[in-house]
Structure 1
Amino acid sequence: MTDNDERLTIPAQPPTDEDLRQDADLTRQELAETVAALGEKADVKARVQRVAHDKAKELRQRGDELVDKLPDSVATRVRPVVTGATNKPMIPLATLIAFLLVLRFLLKRRAAR
């Protein structure tokens, strides 16, 4: 119990109705805080979405910084690609994986000859 929630009765005396109400209110408040904290911790989907949103925002900022460092003639051509890649990162990632798989296949085939 905190200083504000001290009982008003003498320790040897039984608690009054008001003391019991205060104790129940304090217990309810602590329980509500605990349940809210556990609920947030258990909500993995929301946590993952929050992290993904933060990473996507960081990726967009880095992409914009890199494009800004390029000469204007190159930047105008590259900016739409960077914007598309940062808005839907799975498309370039899937393309890269497909490219690497084809390259691996071709290299294995060439080595077998």
Structure 2
Amino acid sequence: MPTPPAPSASRKRPLPNTQDWPPLPGTRAYMARQLAQDTATVRQIVTVLQNCAGQIAPLVAQLYFRTGPLAVLECTATLHALADDIAHDDPQTLAELAAEHTRTG
């Protein structure tokens, strides 16, 4: 009499690890992730603007005709002010947009 085949391993596959999956669009987790990413991007933009202002300042200082009505003389102050406005206002605005989108989504 032939021997029966050895019992095979269960044909069921283990469930995938869903912890590493990105959250589904429209969920609170998705909005939180998007908010975090956008906030980090805004911080990077602020840093770029501040660095740019820092690079421009010594160039402006080299200008001989700095006493004239040159728009370039405003560059450093304008970039710093823009960076400050973005750093102060945009994270709050992003949080409000994410909260609004979560409520309506």
**Does the alignment reach a TM-score above 0.5?**
no
Length-normalised TM-score, structure 1: 0.41
Length-normalised TM-score, structure 2: 0.43
